[in-house]
Amino acid sequence: MNAQAGSCIALIPAKPLLHAKSRLAGVLDRSSRERLVEAMLEHVIATALSAGTVDAVLTVGRRSPAYPLLDVIADAGVGLNAALCHSLPLVAQRGATRMLVIAGDLPSLDTGNIDLLAQLDTDTIGIAPDRHGTGTNALSLPLPAGEDFRFAYGSNSFAHHREEARRLGYDARVILGDGLANDIDDPADLAGGAV
């Protein structure tokens, strides 16, 4: 699916199921973890497809069986940051003027959350932190200028992404909302009723 000029494309990273949510292994068996991961990914994809501000949705890494027609950007197996860096020019070539990166483990994400990310000014990079304020659950990058963005998913990614926006001379806008903040990473997240 090609995007129109001036459009917004959402990328949703999708890890191989074998490696997904290993921190939940103490409370969920492998089959249950895989079902949870797929259900959350399907929800995030469906929400992004329903958002009127998003023109195309792609996954990075693997295809969701529930959405066999979505385009997939391959992950060379060297990590999420490298896969997203590889994705930036591919998305820009489709004519997008904004790229969203949305975590696939946001069970309460809604279209209003996505609209906040998609409707930023062209001089603004949006960053949605996790509820702890340390991780990054979504990014919104203007294109093509944002093609030089260096992704820093991992420890303290929220602070690293804010610094990267400043390095590039962009306003770093923090985007808050329960649907963006409440991800599922460890057993406490399940106990908190986020799913």
Other CB atoms within 10 Å distance of the CB of residue 45? 22
Judge if pTM exceeds 0.85. Answer: yes
The mean of the pLDDT values for the chain is 89
Query: Residue 136 pLDDT more than 70?
Result: yes
Query: What percentage of the chain exceeds 70 in pLDDT?
Result: 93
pLDDT of residue 188: 77
Query: What percentage of the chain exceeds 90 in pLDDT?
Result: 71
pLDDT of residue 145: 81
pLDDT of residue 2: 45
Residue ranges per domain, the chain?
7-191
**Band (3; pLDDT cuts 50, 70, 90):** very low
For domain 7-191, is the CATH number 2.60.40.10?
A: no
pLDDT of residue 192: 56
Return the axis-axis angle of helices 30-50 and 111-118, rounded to nearest 10°. Answer: 60
The span from the CA of 50 to the CA of 55, in Å, is 10
Q: What is the pLDDT of residues 88-135, one digit of tens each?
A: 999 999 999 999 999 999 999 999 999 999 999 999 999 999 999 999
Query: Residue 194 pLDDT more than 70?
Result: no
Q: What is the pLDDT of residues 67-93, one digit of tens each?
A: 999 999 988 778 899 999 999 999 999
